[in-house]
Amino acid sequence: MKSQITPKLIEEAYGRLKDIVIKTPLQLNERLSKQYKAKVYLKREDLQSVRSYKLRGAYNKISLLTPEEKRRGVVCGSAGNHAQGFAFACSKLKIKGYIFMPQNTPKQKIERARRFGGKWVSIVLVGDTFDEACHKAKNFSDNKNKVFIHPFNDELVIAGQGTVGVEILEQLEESPDYIFVPIGGGGLISGLGTYVKSKYPKIKLIGVESEGVPSMFQSLKKGEVVTLDKIDKFIDGTAVKTVGKLGFEICKKIVDKVLLVPEGRVCQEMILLYQNNGIVTEPAGALALSAIEQLAEKIQGKTVVCIVSGGNNDISRYPEIIERSLEYQGLKHYFIVEFPQRAGVLKTFIERTLGPGDDIVLFEYFKKNNKESGPALVGVELARKENFNLLLKRLDKLGFKYQVIDRKSPLFGFVV
């Protein structure tokens, strides 16, 4: 699939969108700049009217439909953010639209799509992944003779997303050395990268994916678009099994490197952003920032831009976000511990196995009559990562039989 995306096409989209989208801030972040000894800027697409950059591509595409196409109506498949931009465009342009989203889409994204679209959109929840929902949406579109608005494998959508790059260069008034961009289907990095590389070819364009969804990483490695068999859907905004063919061809030419980030590291950055900067992101929104530590030495003294791609996070997800963050940092651990059924054993466990500042955060004991011992599910939050090995040594010394519940254990999903 040969790309027809040019800087001129992106500049035309920028003119078309200037009264529709918010020119989001490009903010110097003092915490990250000090930490990495660089000038680190955040492009705040989480402050867009629909809380993500997706409005840009959706509106650019839909606004250019012919009168006959608009009359037929439009359809999209989305993990949630494209749906909101699509709904906004449908309402603004008074076009009937149908949105297909996975059944496990965060409620906030569903409700906001419904609010932006109003009477102009109908929402269908189907399947467990974006790819399944998108497939159903395309079939519906074909069967009902409606126009399918792909979230990333479309030149006009990519051109719309590329307007983020136009704004960055206007706001920075210099060439950044590095731009870190989250990758889902590849639309944002393709459009943004096409534009900034046309102006400053030496910019290092860094794509970022989660370890659980390395779709672009694997595709570039193999030299062709691959479909992942299994993905971790936690970072829902980029949980795409198959990247767009159009974006893949562009990325082959312009992306300098794709970095993979553990989901727990993303959760850690989400919490740091909230606690230090008052910024609420969704997991995909913190993805780019989570990766810059991997190039910490290279970016010293450089100008770095990270795309904060979205802020559509359901508050009910924060307990899991905190849990994943602590687990990633090595501060929270779970065990199955066999407790002898005699008085004083629990007191011994608490007083002689935990280190200073360590705390028991979960304890479920299953007492069995006429048994010499009974199992307990124990969760421990450590004051320091290094306390883990000391804890294990104390358990061994005291003769406790135990099993660590780590990610390889089938029990891990029950506690995290």
255-307 residue pLDDT tens? 999 999 999 999 999 999 999 999 999 999 999 999 999 999 999 999 999 99
Has residue 369 got a pLDDT over 70?
no
pLDDT grade, residue 314 (50/70/90)?
A: confident
The pLDDT tens digits of the residues spanning 182-194 come to 999 999 999 999 9
Strand 204-210 and strand 303-308: the pairing is unpaired
> Residue 415: is its pLDDT beyond 90?
no
What domains are there in the chain, each with its CATH number?
7-53+155-323 (3.40.50.1100), 56-148 (3.40.50.1100), 330-415 (3.30.70.260)
The tens digit of pLDDT for each residue in 30-43 reads 999 999 999 999 99
Instruction: Output phi, psi for 114, to 5 deg.
Output: -65, -40
**What was the pLDDT predicted at 86?**
97
pLDDT at 411: 77
| pLDDT above 80 (res 19) | yes
d(CA 10, CA 200): 16
Report pLDDT for 344: 84
383-404 per-position pLDDT tens digit:
999 999 999 999 999 999 999 9
For position 1, what pLDDT does the model report?
47
The sheet carrying 303-308 orders its strands as: 26-28, 39-44, 303-308, 178-182, 204-210, 257-261
pTM of the predicted model as reported, rounded to 2 decimal places: 0.92
Which residues are tagged catalytic?
A: 54, 309
Nearest to 240 by CA among 142, 137, 153: 153
pLDDT digits (tens, 9 = 90+) for 84-134: 999 999 999 999 999 999 999 988 899 999 999 999 999 999 999 999 999
Structure-token pair, residue 124: 């269908």
Burial 217-240 (b: 16+ CB within 10 A, else e): bbbbeeeebbebeebeebbbbbbb
Burial of 122 (0-12, 13-18, 19+ CB in 10 A): middle
Per-residue confidence (pLDDT) for residue 339, from 0 to 100: 87
The DSSP annotation for 116-163 comes to HHGGGEEEEE-SSSHHHHHHHHHHHHHHHT-EE--SSSSHHHHHHHHH
DSSP 256: -
Hunting for tokens 């970022």 — which residue is that?
A: 208
Element (H, E) at 10: helix 7-17
Confidence of residue 341 (pLDDT cuts 50, 70, 90): confident
Q: Tell me if 379 sits within 8 A of 362, measured CB to CB.
A: yes
Angle made by CA atoms 192, 232, 116, in degrees to the nearest 5: 55
Which residue in 153, 156, 122, 119 sits closest to 135, CA to CA? 153
The mean pLDDT of the chain is 94
pLDDT tens digit sequence for 51-83: 999 999 999 999 999 999 999 999 999 999 999
